[in-house]
Amino acid sequence: MRYGSTNRVREGSGVRRDSKLQSAMEYLMTYGWAILVIAVVLGVLYSLGIFSPSSFAPKAQPGSCQVFRPNGPGTSYDLNLEGTCTGQVPRYVASMSGCSGCGNVNGSRVLISAPNFPTSMGNFTIFAWLNPTSGQCSEPVFGSVRDTYGTANAGAMLSLVNGAPALQVSGYSYRFYGTTAMTLNSWSQVAATYSLGNVAIYVNGKQTDSGNIGVSPATFDAAMPNLAVGYDNQTIWCSGTMSHLTGQISNVQFYNASLSANEVSALYAEGIGGAPVKLQSLLGWWPLNGNANDYSGNNNDGVASNTTFIGNIQT
């Protein structure tokens, strides 16, 4: 009797095991595809940066931070930052589609009216955040516009030459070429400082190149008052014809002083939405957060052409 009882128990336990296995297989067959689809969707969203911390960071409204000059444009005392100046990610950035060989006709650009801008400087700094999408021969970042082709004393211009920052200060003979190419399709900070002929190039807060360019002071185009973001009326840096920036640009700052390495590093540490340093030397500040206005308090506003302001910034 005991043997028969034991056999029946074993047979019953085997039935229960088979039933659990069958249930598990049915569950996987029913929900397996759904689980796989969810995993694929999550992977795609992650690759697009949806889960990046910047996606959930507060976004700065256009003009939310600006320099207050109580004594008017051009003054350099009693200056303060006003508004939300905590380095929030901008709500928008300027997106430029470039234009090969089209000069000043159809390409993306921001022209800046600066009638009181100096025509020569012994010291200056150009600072910007870039997301370049093209490694064209030469793409301008910021500087004075050459209004006449072949102008010998064309002014200061920071460009990307074969993807690396390069600075021209006073005509075609005075150029300094950086050696560190910027990463395409990725946000990076770029800065160039000039001090009595000495040039330093910075990428992401670190100095990458330095040298002497052989001329001081640096001159700007006699045909001022126009400066430009992402545009140069001609390109003879190398064998290409690119005269407009291709990619995205934000937080352009221009100083009539050569910032120190520590100051450039501090600007980088603030992030893409960081406010300027050394306000008494700040000539222009174009966050490009939805418009081309100058928030330095100097009223050097720009006009954007064939340029769009896009949101959902991933840095």
Q: Tokens for 114? A: 């600066």
Q: Binning pLDDT at 50, 70 and 90, where does residue 218 land?
A: confident
Which residue's structure tokens are 């021969």?
137
Q: How many CB atoms lie within 10 A of CB 175?
A: 18
Residue in 69, 94, 131, 70 with CA at minimum distance from that of residue 295: 69
Tell me the CATH class for 58-310.
Answer: mainly beta
**Is the pTM value of this prediction over 0.85?**
no
Q: Tokens for 220? A: 């700007």
Across the strands, what pairs with 60? 90
pLDDT at 244: 84
pLDDT at 152: 47
Model confidence over 61-117: pLDDT tens digits? 899 999 999 999 988 889 999 999 988 899 999 999 877 656 556 678 898 887 777
Considering only 137-146, 186-195, 219-228, 253-262, which range has the smallest mean pLDDT? Answer: 219-228
What mean pLDDT is reported for the chain? 81
Cα torsion through 77, 285, 276, 218, rounded to 10: -80
pLDDT at 113: 81
- Which sequence spans correspond to the domains of the chain? 1-51, 58-310
